[in-house]
Amino acid sequence: MIGYYILAGAIFLVSMYVSNKLKSKFKKYSKIHLQNGMSGKEIAEKMLADNGITDVEVISVAGQLTDHYNPQKKTVNLSEAVYMQRNAAAAAVAAHEVGHAVQHATAYSWLKMRSAIVPAVGISSKLSNFVIMAGLGLSFAGMALGNWVFLIGIGLFAMTTAFSFITLPVEYDASNRALAWLKDKNMVTPDEYAGSKDALKWAARTYLVAALGSLATLLYFISLFLGRR
């Protein structure tokens, strides 16, 4: 288990670095005020209209970096700062979340796949670590059942890892849609566009680190299982 703790510690440090970098980038680009004077809310509503989407509402939610698109309620949820502010960071986030709404409206395959497995992933993410620890405990106690319980736990964890990787094309595609719209519709200046692109790049890296960290942990569990056979 020492190897697992070392791996988990390394993943945690990398995740913290990317997270802090993301926050610093958004702070930096929050100082680049949009020449068009539009707020994040107005950016989002304009992109929705330009894509012919009329059944999605843009609303404000509490918190920082809590922005997301809710496909069930059809709402683009923007954090209070993004909703009200008029800068490159707000434009990037608002357009990115509308990118998810566009994916939903056009039945983007990766988004459909991710949405389909959300219920199963919700269960597996809650149970996987408990089942894995239980399996290891039973194995150390000399019970043959332990290996089977451990294997079930690995299967549950594999589902959450798969979800992390399915999320990657969804997030990258939403950012690409956002940046293309910002540029094609001349919504931002070259400097504002560069800031928006850099901010979204670091946001995407948080998902990449999470996926790679989950994969590394999964491979460790698999190697531990194979070593006990």
Active site positions, annotated: 97
Tokens of 173: 């595609």
CA dihedral 73, 76, 57, 118 (to 10 degrees): -10
| CA 229/CA 223 separation, integer angstroms | 10
Helical H runs in 30-87?
A: 40-50, 80-84
Instruction: Classify each residue of 179-201 as buried b or exposed e, where b means 16 or more C-beta atoms within 10 Å of its C-beta.
Output: bebbeeeebbeeebbebbbbbbe
Q: Write the CA distances from 71 to 44, 105, 174, integer angstroms.
A: 15, 10, 14
Cα-to-chain-centroid distance, residue 102: 17
| CA 193/CA 215 separation, integer angstroms | 33
CB 117 within 8 A of CB 95: no
| CA 133/CA 127 separation, integer angstroms | 10
Distance between the two ends of the chain, CA-based, in angstroms? 16
